[in-house]
Structure 1
Amino acid sequence: MKKKILALAVGLSAAALFGGAGPALADYPERPVEFIVPWSPGGGSDTLMRIVANNVEPYLGEPMPVINMPGVSGTTGIKEASTRAADGYTVVQIHEGLLVANAVDLTDVNWNDFDPIGMMTVSPQFLVINADKSYKTFEEFITYAKENPGAVKFGVTLGGVPHLHAAMIEDAYGVEFSYVGYEGTGERIRALVGGNLDAAIGDIASAKQFVDNGDLIFLATGNPERLSQTPDVPTFKELDSDLELLITRGIFMPEGSPEEARGTLESALEELAADDTFVTQVNNAGGEVNFRGQDAYTAYLEGLQKAIDKLSNKLQP
């Protein structure tokens, strides 16, 4: 018996010395990391996340194959990801839509059921108006809205991210809009151009062509800094608020994933975000690269969650 105990002790000591005890993550990853994108192929999230997946292998050391799992406003794939083993070999893309879906009881899963690894891309959102209105600047728009509560017909996706962004503007500046629901960004921008709306939440891809030809006006951008494509459009931060109106796309692991895996992937994504080829591809797809690591990304999401909790009664479709 003493010999067996001694042999076991020697064996355990050797295992610890040579890294054989338990699941060794020093060489993570040792196989491909499955990347669940909870949207259909060809959409904005799929396009941008495939750019991540197609460029990350030199920095991560293993491929990150994309698995599309669409359904129920992106919540089907996210729900599946939440059930996966927290071993570092499943990641999922999440954006602000999940937080809103949780707030309106579309899903019981939320971002804090995962470990945020890194924000990768942002699609800045804009407050955009019909150019035929009497107000032409942000200040004039807010003055009008304050003097005429509910008079501004504001186009959003009811119960979606644009609805959240409009409610954040209301809250920040003490105004009140009348909401008109549209399924997609293109649909509400066309309604705005046609004069059926006064204002809407839009983006460069959907609205800039109409701004350029004089049909619409960008009053403010939700990006933290002015954008090169719209250098004359002020940020909300310049307009006396802390608003960031963004659609961000980030990468998450199931909650409780190993620290080594989280750190390794975070470092790989940070290096990727500085890759000129990657940045160009994202820009060509209509996005901006804005990397935020685990801590900074978590802080952003916590702040957004507070805003949603405060405004959740306004978001019911």
Structure 2
Amino acid sequence: MKLKTLLTLSALSAAITLPGVTLAADSYPDRPIEFIVPWGPGGASDLLMRLVGRHLEQELDTPVPIINMPGASGTVGLREASRRDPDGYTITQIHEGLLMAHHAGVTDQNWDTFEPVAMMTSDNSVILVNADSGWETLDDMLEAVQASPGEYRMGVTLGGIPHLWAVQFENATDTEFGYVGYEGTGERLRALAGGHITVAIEDYQSAEAFLENGDMTALAAATDERLDELPDIPTLKELGYDLEFLVTRGVVVPKGTPDSIIETLESALESVAESDAFVNDVANAGGTVRFMNRADYTDYLERNDQFIEDNAHLLD
């Protein structure tokens, strides 16, 4: 009887436990979701992901606190995120910088260290110079830099996407800069405004306040078309250089996160991306909403990863 009773209790326990797991998944989320942003405050990743987090809070009716974890080209925060339990209560953000850091040998992590959920935004990049340079056009800058190779300093993230952009820009314009490495956009912009560097390629929304204050000047937009916010600034393509510098930002979760939870997050992020309030907030920050669902985002990351792998040798 004791053995029979024990077996019966074990069967009942299993029958109760399995529905319990389903109920736990169905109740997701029932506590705050930590959003690790692997960059410091003030840059585009921080600004845009705070908007994503704020609107996701409203969509899921649960807190989404932002936790900044900068360091080592964004890989410090990403490594922490990758070690978190795959339970849906940690999300993080990646962009092309992770792919670049991987192929530059900075980190063994790559996009497929995580489970992609959705792409959310893209940036509009511009060529910026310190206002004290006196340069008013791209030709002004190119003439000066070509006459003094290596003298003018450009801010980059060494081994990151800004580094690749700098090399591509040099190759296309027959210039040579001295590179100064910074961890993120916020640091580079402060260095540019303070005159510690002369040139940087940055996203418009992060630089907007510095441009309005007269700390720096935009010489060209690295976009397909002129920016509405800078209608008098030509694109690099207009000026004869077939270059476009694009950064996209998407949400990922630790590997092994259940599909049901990823689908909940994907659906919520799609609703966020479709809301007028979010679109307006991102536009006011100078960015563009660019939503891709899980499947399309995964395909984009695979293709872009191959492009970066093929071009990473330019940093040698």
Give the TM-score of the pair, scaled to structure 2.
0.73
SS of residue matched to 2:247: strand
CA distance 1:190–1:41, change in 2 (3 Å): closer
Q: Which residue of 2 aligns with 1:118?
A: 118
- The 2-side partners of 1:74 and 1:310 are apart by 22
Q: Distance in 1 between matches of 2:241 and 2:139?
A: 20
Residue 207 of structure 2 corresponds to: 206
Query: How far apart, in 1, do the equivalents of 2:16 and 2:242 lie?
Result: 53
Give, in whole Å, the separation in 1 of the partners of 2:256 and 2:58. Answer: 26
Evaluate the alpha carbon distance shift between residue 10 and residue 242 of structure 1 in structure 2; reply closer, same or farther with a 3 A threshold.
farther
RMSD between aligned residues? 4.4
Alpha-carbon shift at residue 300 of structure 1 (Å)? 2.7
Alpha-carbon distance in 2 for matches of 1:99, 1:290: 19
Cα-to-partner distance string for 1:232-264 (whole Å, 9 max, x where unaligned): 767778999996522333211011211111111
Distance 1:158 1:88, change over 3 A: closer
Residues paired across the two proteins, number = 301
Provide the secondary structure at the position in 1 that maps to 2:289: strand
Matched, 1:87 2:87: yes
* Structure 1 counterpart SS, 2:123: strand
Cα distance, 1:112–1:252 mapped onto 2, change above 3 Å: same
Task: Name the aligned partner's letter for residue 290 of structure 1.
Answer: R
Q: How far off its partner does 1:118 sit?
A: 1.8
What secondary structure is seen at the aligned counterpart in 1 of 2:107? Answer: coil
TM-score (norm 1): 0.72
Residue aligning to 2:185 = none
Q: Matched residues in 1 for 2:275 and 2:151: separation? A: 43
Which position in structure 1 is the counterpart of 2:314?
314
Shift of 1:154: 8.2
Q: Is the 8 A contact 1:115 1:253 kept in 2?
A: yes
- Residues 166-216 of structure 1: per-residue CA shift (max 9 Å, x gap): 444577x6x654232144145458879xxx97x7524435379869x9x96
Moved more, 101-110 or 84-93: 101-110
Q: Decide whether the 8 Å contact of 2:221 with 2:227 is kept in 1.
A: no
Q: Distance in 1 between matches of 2:138 and 2:34?
A: 52
User: Per the alignment, do residues 107 and 26 of structure 1 end up closer, same or farther by CA in structure 2, a change over 3 Å counting?
Assistant: same
**Runs of 5+ in structure 2 lacking a partner?**
183-187
Q: Which residue of 1 aligns with 2:52?
A: 52
Q: Which region of structure 1 is more displaced relative to structure 2, 229-238 or 280-289?
A: 229-238
Distance between the aligned counterparts of 1:134 and 1:169, measured in 2?
12
Shift in CA distance, 292/234, structure 1 to aligned 2, threshold 3 Å? farther
Residue matched to 1:157: 156
User: How far is the alpha carbon of 1:296 from its aligned partner?
Assistant: 2.4
Secondary structure of the corresponding residue to residue 19 of structure 2: coil
- 1:221 maps to 222
Q: Check 1:289–1:201 CA distance in 2 against 1; reply closer, same or farther (3 A cut).
A: same
What residue is the counterpart of 1:33 in the other structure?
A: 33
**Which residue does 1:298 correspond to in 2?**
298
Helix, strand or coil at the partner of 1:28: coil
**How far has the Cα of 1:13 moved from its partner?**
8.7
Which letter maps to 1:70?
A: P
* Range moving further from structure 2, 71-80 or 182-191: 182-191
- Structure 2 vs 1, CA of residues 235 and 266 (structure 1 numbering), >3 Å: closer, same or farther? farther
Shift in alpha-carbon separation, 1:308–1:29, aligned structure 2, 3 A: same
- Distance in 2 (CA, whole Å) between partners of 1:242 and 1:303 is 20
Q: Secondary structure at the match of 1:20?
A: helix
Percent identical among aligned pairs is 40
Report the Cα offset of residue 111 of structure 1.
Answer: 2.1
Seen in structure 2, the aligned counterparts of structure 1 residues 30 and 48 have a Cα distance that, compared at 3 Å, is: same
Shift of 1:266: 1.0
